[in-house]
Chain A
Amino acid sequence: MYNFEFAKPATIGEAVSALSSEGAQALGGGQTLLPTMKQRLAAPETLVSLTGISEMKGVCLSDAGEVCVGGATTHATVAAEAAAHYPALAALAGRIGDPAVRNRGTIGGSLANNDPSACYPAAALASGATIKTNARDIAADDYFQGMFTTALDEGEIITEVRFPVPEKANYQKFLQPASRFALVGVFVAKYADGVRVAVTGASSDGVFRWTEAEEALNGSFTKDAIDALSPPDGDMIADLHGSAAYRAHLVKVLTGRAVAAAG
């Protein structure tokens, strides 16, 4: 690790101004950023911690009935506090990493990082969530722009994520044996106006919607509807842990399982 300055602002405004300085970078739970710094692969001059900003922490319900998660809310908090409102989201948060990761890592950090194997991107995309930043609201469909790439501008902070609550939903995560990130993860959410299926871990373009499955499920929200499809083709990741064909196959199996589990 190289030396750096450290700031811990108490408000979003202070954080935004701290981040406007040259070489400054936001720090959420540090679960991704700190290991990178320890390996000397990142060298921010100033770390601006977001975890002291109380308006960015916690889970609540909006008047419209959306689950609102503050950008600096830890996975453990989401697992506990979203359980009553959006069980599938809470269950997803409760299976990220290990207890240490869940008690440090934040939803904002996860979505900003947009790791192609991360879990939250699937939930946000399948829920048609709104990513709120200090500057604007971004629809999930516009937010994810390929692995490790998002619509965020330099210095822009995710302050909150709003999840419309579906009628039924389920997340199926198939573990990569070493990292235990998602080798493939599928989030299925059924809303009054349609079903959304988001897939993480599988594609080298990052999280994506499997639209054929959505159409089939709009016709009939059953596992059988999925069984009739062929796996998505897309640009599947191939690595030590699974071939492209295997990942595509898993997308289909897990989608079917998510539908069955969503009930």
Chain B
Amino acid sequence: MPKDHGIGARSKRREDVRFLTGTGHYTDDMAMQGQTYAVMVRSTVAHGKIVSIDTSEAAAMPGVLTIFTGEDFAEVGGNPAGWLIHSRDGSPMREPKRPVLAHGKVRHVGDAYAAVVAETYAQAKDAAEAVAAGTVIEELPAIVDLAAAVANADNRVHDEIPDNLCFDWGWIEDNREAVDAAMKSAEHVTVLELVNNRLVPNAMEPRSSIGEYHPASGEYKLTTTSQNPHLTKLLVCAFVLGIPEHKLTVVAPDVGGGFGSKIYHYGEEALVLAAAKKLGRPVRWTAERTESFLTDAHGRDHVTKIEVGAKKDGEIVAIRTTTLANVGAYLSNFSTATPTFLHGTLMAGPYKVPNVYVNLKAVFTNTAPVDAYRGAGRPEATYSLERAIDKMARELGLDPVEVRRKNLITPDMFPYTTPVALQYDTGNYQATLDKALEMADVAGFEARAAESKARGKLRGLGLSTWIEACGIAPSHLVGQLGSRVGLYDAATVRVSATGTIQVMTGAHSHGQGHETVFAQVVAEKLGIPEENVEIVHGDTSKIPFGMGSYGSRSLAVCGSAIDRAMDKIIDKGKKIAAHMLEASEGDITFENGSFAVAGTDKAKSFGEIAFSAYVPHNYPLETLEPGLEETAFYDPNNFTYPAGAYLCEVEVDPDTGSVDILSFTCADDFGNVMNPMVVEGQVHGGVVQGIGQAMIEHTAYDETGQLLTASYMDYAMPRADDVPMVTVDHSCATPCTHNPLGVKGCGEAGAIGSPPAVVNAVIDALQRGGYAHVTHIDMPLTPSRVWAAMRG
């Protein structure tokens, strides 16, 4: 019998009741007494000098309350990058100020240089048009192409940064010579140049923020679409506006998806707070969809050359990558960590490669900032590696499955330290590979390919064996590497007098299902019904200082904090029980929600202990405080390393270049699984995003820096009929060795492992179909691109 309760049960997602019945509570749903509306005035050119802004006409328009320009924020702080990277020569990265509103120059289409606040939204929009009409911007040549950006020293996104270069990073610089030597003496070197296409995150709910200020107390409140309210609060207080931290509450209520784009603090959040203070009234702003396209931090956008040195039998001896990574016009909060420590450190993959060296230049351009997007750096590493290994196998006339098998780290090698500084604690990459091959019926592939051929179609099979690093930690190590924040998380477990529980978490759920899964974890350990547990998240006035949700960290880091807090609850419960049962504390056991004296039938239920803690009549008050509430901060001592094998089977129509994805199979190792249904859902979603990137999603700027794909008319999002049924398995589990739940994280896996499997499958189909010259096609593999590649 499968469990119907606690850890491992397929408990239905309790939050879905409100999401599916329209009773969720999102930022833009919140009406407030006396509210006002902000509209941002945005640049329509990619690069320009702000010559003058005349707001007088707009200021006189009906309903207009106040107008801000970049000038108003010139004296306050900027929105900082969260990670300091050092270049190969030891110099620190170049960090231009990212102001609340653009000042002096506009640097991308959509860059806000002014904001209007009015009584109604329509009035604010009208006045914003008038501000735009009163503004003179002298257009400058746009810097869009990455190679041109670094080659051209005269045309600068930031006047003080000569070659548009943020940093030139080597990982690990000490490996460089050995890698060069190994590459030189390798029997075979495969070279692949590829583009990891830029993506727009497209959360269903656009960004939205409401600022409030209460003059009587001097307190501010920001209600906003955030994945990490405490981080936003810290950034606003300590870096941007200088508000005392105890005077600001940040609330991230229901948030309709983030995928990374809502990790970051954006200027609009500071703007509504400053405006609320000035007006003494609530100020609200919600992005229109076009603004989301233009100003949400985008993802990916790498141009990479990867070289794989190998022996003739496919054994990899060296990997070297050279990448230009687009950071856009300004440094978004994690934009410097994503292409470096979330990318370069993964370049060994799940393979026992002795020599790896990564060189990455981060480049400023006149485009929207680029930052972490589901997978963040790891999809880029996985894509480069898995595409290049496939190409290498083909060049050597070897089976791509066997080449991977030959190079995979074996179970007896853990803990395994890679040449790019990660220590994988545990895994079984052969097991997931074998499982995927079996599930996808690879043995029957040739027969299916023959059947396709009879219909005039080309069938192909693509594999990727991927690994990622989740739950980035520990804080002291990331601190040495340049992180400006800690990466622990925190939870408070508050037991009420009647034995029900509230858990306040630093993690934030914006679709993941924490309210369900965390309750299962608590119910399991405390032996109480799931419905007696409530998960509280998103409000800094209620939750402890945790770091929020991204990087598949919530369960591994915050879940561990919950577990630790429950340990403290149980310890205290034992003390109370010992007193009530007149036994010694050492003799008290806790199991299935019951505190018992070992070897006797004397016991107290969890509820009785809770009641006693709050009505302490029979209680050891001399030695123990009343109450039952504990907080734990958990700082992991390593990343977790989910891994798996993905297989994709496609059919290409040679007449049109259309690709039909017939099946997608995932065998994942996520360690212990708390709720299989939620995990499967996460993998489905991730795979669909990965298929979207591989097949149709594409963000294109023209040479003047105009975004060509600024709406759903041109930016293709995957729909149900673009994707196959995704078959998911997570039975090959090797529990994480260093966190109490043995969990690894599953949120990004699908988006990391799937793009190379799709592209490998299409290349395989074309190769089998006689198009031997097609060794690579850049994503997205639209029919037009596939057709053009076939034509040669």
Q: Which residues of chain A are within 8 angstroms of B187 by Cβ–Cβ distance? A: none
**B713/A178 in contact, CB under 8 A:** yes
Q: How far is the CB of B41 from chain A (nearest CB, A)?
A: 14
Given contacts A178-B696, A253-B656, contact A246 B715 (CB under 8 A): no
**A178/B656 in contact, CB under 8 A:** no
**Which B residue's beta carbon lies closest to that of A250?**
B656
Partner of B787 from A178, A179, A240, A246 at Cβ < 8 Å: A246
Q: How far is it, in angstroms, between the C-alpha of A3 and the C-alpha of B782 when the chains are bound?
A: 41
Q: Which residues of chain B are within 8 angstroms of A242 by Cβ–Cβ distance? A: 782-784
B788 contacts chain A at the CB level, 8 A cutoff: yes
Given contacts A240-B698, A253-B656, contact A178 B712 (CB under 8 A): yes
Q: Which residues of chain A are within 8 angstroms of B689 by Cβ–Cβ distance? A: none
**Which A residue's beta carbon lies closest to that of B657?**
A246
**Which B residue's beta carbon lies closest to that of A1?**
B122
**Which B residue's beta carbon lies closest to that of A246?**
B784
Within 8 A of B (CB), among A1-38: 1, 3
**Which A residue's beta carbon lies closest to that of B702?**
A240
Contact with B along A21-59 (1 / 0, CB 8 A): 000000000000000000110000000000000000000
Q: How far is the CB of B350 from chain A (nearest CB, A)?
A: 32
Q: How far is it, in angstroms, between the C-alpha of A243 and the C-alpha of B789 when the chains are bound?
A: 12
Q: How far is it, in angstroms, between the C-alpha of A83 and the C-alpha of B346 when the chains are bound?
A: 57
**B788/A179 in contact, CB under 8 A:** no
Q: How far is it, in angstroms, between the C-alpha of A54 and the C-alpha of B788 when the chains are bound?
A: 50
Given contacts A246-B788, A249-B787, A250-B656, contact A240 B709 (CB under 8 A): yes
Q: How far is it, in angstroms, between the C-alpha of A250 and the C-alpha of B713 when the chains are bound?
A: 20
Q: Which residues of chain A are within 8 angstroms of B713 by Cβ–Cβ distance? A: 178-179
Q: How far is it, in angstroms, between the C-alpha of A230 and the C-alpha of B656 when the chains are bound?
A: 16
A174 contacts chain B at the CB level, 8 A cutoff: yes
Q: How far is the CB of B405 from chain A (nearest CB, A)?
A: 36
**A174/B656 in contact, CB under 8 A:** yes
A241 contacts chain B at the CB level, 8 A cutoff: yes
Contact with B along A235-263 (1 / 0, CB 8 A): 00000111100100110010000000000
Q: How far is the CB of A2 from chain B (nearest CB, A)?
A: 8
**A243/B788 in contact, CB under 8 A:** yes
Q: How far is it, in angstroms, between the C-alpha of A243 and the C-alpha of B695 when the chains are bound?
A: 17
Q: How far is the CB of A27 from chain B (nearest CB, A)?
A: 20
**B714/A178 in contact, CB under 8 A:** yes
Q: How far is it, in angstroms, between the C-alpha of A40 and the C-alpha of B129 when the chains are bound?
A: 10
Q: How far is the CB of A148 from chain B (nearest CB, A)?
A: 15
Partner of B714 from A179, A246, A249 at Cβ < 8 Å: A179
Q: How far is it, in angstroms, between the C-alpha of A242 and the C-alpha of B785 when the chains are bound?
A: 8
**A178/B655 in contact, CB under 8 A:** no
Q: Which residues of chain A are within 8 angstroms of B712 by Cβ–Cβ distance? A: 178-179
Q: How far is the CB of A201 from chain B (nearest CB, A)?
A: 13
Partner of B716 from A3, A178, A246, A253 at Cβ < 8 Å: A178
Q: How many residues of B contact A (CB 8 A)?
A: 25
**Which A residue's beta carbon lies closest to that of B653?**
A253
Q: How far is the CB of A260 from chain B (nearest CB, A)?
A: 12
Total of A-B residue pairs, C-beta within 8 Å: 45
B708 contacts chain A at the CB level, 8 A cutoff: yes
**Which A residue's beta carbon lies closest to that of B717?**
A178
Partner of A240 from B656, B657, B700, B788 at Cβ < 8 Å: B700
Within 8 A of B (CB), among A200-239: none
**A177/B788 in contact, CB under 8 A:** no
Q: How far is it, in angstroms, between the C-alpha of A242 and the C-alpha of B658 when the chains are bound?
A: 12
Q: Chain A at the B interface: mostly helix, strand, loop or mixed?
A: loop
Q: For the side of the interface on A, what is the size category? A: 10 to 19
Q: Which residues of chain A are within 8 angstroms of B290 by Cβ–Cβ distance? A: 39
Within 8 A of A (CB), among B706-765: 708-709, 712-717, 722
Within 8 A of A (CB), among B681-700: 695-696, 698, 700
**B716/A177 in contact, CB under 8 A:** yes
Q: How far is it, in angstroms, between the C-alpha of A40 and the C-alpha of B698 when the chains are bound?
A: 26
Q: Which residues of chain B are within 8 angstroms of A241 by Cβ–Cβ distance? A: 714, 782, 784
Contact with A along B771-792 (1 / 0, CB 8 A): 0000000000011100110000
**Which B residue's beta carbon lies closest to that of A247?**
B784
Q: How far is it, in angstroms, between the C-alpha of A40 and the C-alpha of B128 when the chains are bound?
A: 13
Contact with A along B659-700 (1 / 0, CB 8 A): 000000000000000000000000000000000000110101
Q: How far is it, in angstroms, between the C-alpha of A118 and the C-alpha of B315 when the chains are bound?
A: 54
**Which A residue's beta carbon lies closest to that of B713?**
A179
Contact with A along B142-171 (1 / 0, CB 8 A): 000000000000000000000000000000
**Which B residue's beta carbon lies closest to that of A181?**
B713
Q: How far is it, in angstroms, between the C-alpha of A170 and the C-alpha of B585 when the chains are bound?
A: 83
Q: How far is the CB of A240 from chain B (nearest CB, A)?
A: 6
Q: How far is it, in angstroms, between the C-alpha of A261 and the C-alpha of B129 when the chains are bound?
A: 52
Within 8 A of A (CB), among B110-131: 122, 125, 129
Within 8 A of B (CB), among A56-72: none
Residue of B290, B698, B712, B783 contacting most chain A CB atoms (<10 Å): B783
Q: Which residues of chain A are within 8 angstroms of B709 by Cβ–Cβ distance? A: 178, 240
Residue of B122, B655, B695 contacting most chain A CB atoms (<10 Å): B655
**A177/B655 in contact, CB under 8 A:** no
Q: How far is the CB of A97 from chain B (nearest CB, A)?
A: 12
Q: How far is it, in angstroms, between the C-alpha of A177 and the C-alpha of B692 when the chains are bound?
A: 11
Q: How far is it, in angstroms, between the C-alpha of A218 and the C-alpha of B782 when the chains are bound?
A: 34
**B655/A240 in contact, CB under 8 A:** no
Residue of A174, A243, A249 contacting most chain B CB atoms (<10 Å): A249
**A178/B784 in contact, CB under 8 A:** no
Q: How far is it, in angstroms, between the C-alpha of A170 and the C-alpha of B108 when the chains are bound?
A: 46
Q: How far is it, in angstroms, between the C-alpha of A202 and the C-alpha of B722 when the chains are bound?
A: 23
Q: How far is the CB of B333 from chain A (nearest CB, A)?
A: 29
Given contacts A240-B698, A240-B708, contact A177 B656 (CB under 8 A): no
Q: How far is it, in angstroms, between the C-alpha of A253 and the C-alpha of B713 when the chains are bound?
A: 24
Q: Which residues of chain A are within 8 angstroms of B695 by Cβ–Cβ distance? A: 177
Given contacts A246-B784, A246-B788, A253-B655, contact A177 B700 (CB under 8 A): no
**B787/A177 in contact, CB under 8 A:** no
Q: How far is the CB of B782 from chain A (nearest CB, A)?
A: 6
Q: How far is the CB of A36 from chain B (nearest CB, A)?
A: 12
**Which B residue's beta carbon lies closest to that of A254?**
B656
Contact with B along A181-200 (1 / 0, CB 8 A): 00000000000000000000
Q: Which residues of chain B are within 8 angstroms of A253 by Cβ–Cβ distance? A: 655-656
Residue of A174, A178, A253 contacting most chain B CB atoms (<10 Å): A178
**Which A residue's beta carbon lies closest to that of B126?**
A2
Q: How far is it, in angstroms, between the C-alpha of A177 and the C-alpha of B695 when the chains are bound?
A: 9
Q: Which residues of chain A are within 8 angstroms of B708 by Cβ–Cβ distance? A: 240
**Which B residue's beta carbon lies closest to that of A242?**
B784
**Which B residue's beta carbon lies closest to that of A184?**
B656
Q: How far is it, in angstroms, between the C-alpha of A80 and the C-alpha of B714 when the chains are bound?
A: 30
Q: How far is it, in angstroms, between the C-alpha of A3 and the C-alpha of B125 when the chains are bound?
A: 13
Residue of A177, A178, A241 contacting most chain B CB atoms (<10 Å): A177
Q: How far is the CB of A18 from chain B (nearest CB, A)?
A: 25
Given contacts A240-B709, A250-B656, contact A178 B715 (CB under 8 A): yes
Q: Which residues of chain B are within 8 angstroms of A39 by Cβ–Cβ distance? A: 290
Q: Which residues of chain B are within 8 angstroms of A240 by Cβ–Cβ distance? A: 698, 700, 708-709, 714
Q: Which residues of chain A are within 8 angstroms of B784 by Cβ–Cβ distance? A: 241-243, 246
Contact with A along B619-659 (1 / 0, CB 8 A): 00000000000000000000000000000000000011100
Q: How far is it, in angstroms, between the C-alpha of A174 and the C-alpha of B129 when the chains are bound?
A: 39
Q: How far is it, in angstroms, between the C-alpha of A174 and the C-alpha of B655 when the chains are bound?
A: 12
Q: How far is it, in angstroms, between the C-alpha of A246 and the C-alpha of B782 when the chains are bound?
A: 12
Ordered nearest first, which 3 A-B pairs have the shortest CB separation?
A178-B716, A177-B716, A242-B784
User: Can you give 25 A-B contacts (C-beta < 8 A)?
Assistant: A3-B122, A40-B129, A174-B783, A177-B716, A177-B722, A177-B782, A178-B696, A178-B714, A178-B715, A178-B716, A179-B713, A240-B700, A240-B709, A240-B714, A241-B714, A241-B784, A242-B784, A243-B784, A246-B657, A246-B784, A246-B787, A246-B788, A249-B787, A250-B656, A253-B655
Known: A177-B696, A178-B715. 10 other contacts (CB 8 A): A1-B122, A3-B122, A177-B695, A178-B717, A179-B714, A240-B698, A246-B657, A246-B784, A246-B788, A250-B656
A contacts, CB < 8 Å to B: 1, 3, 39-40, 174, 177-179, 240-243, 246, 249-250, 253
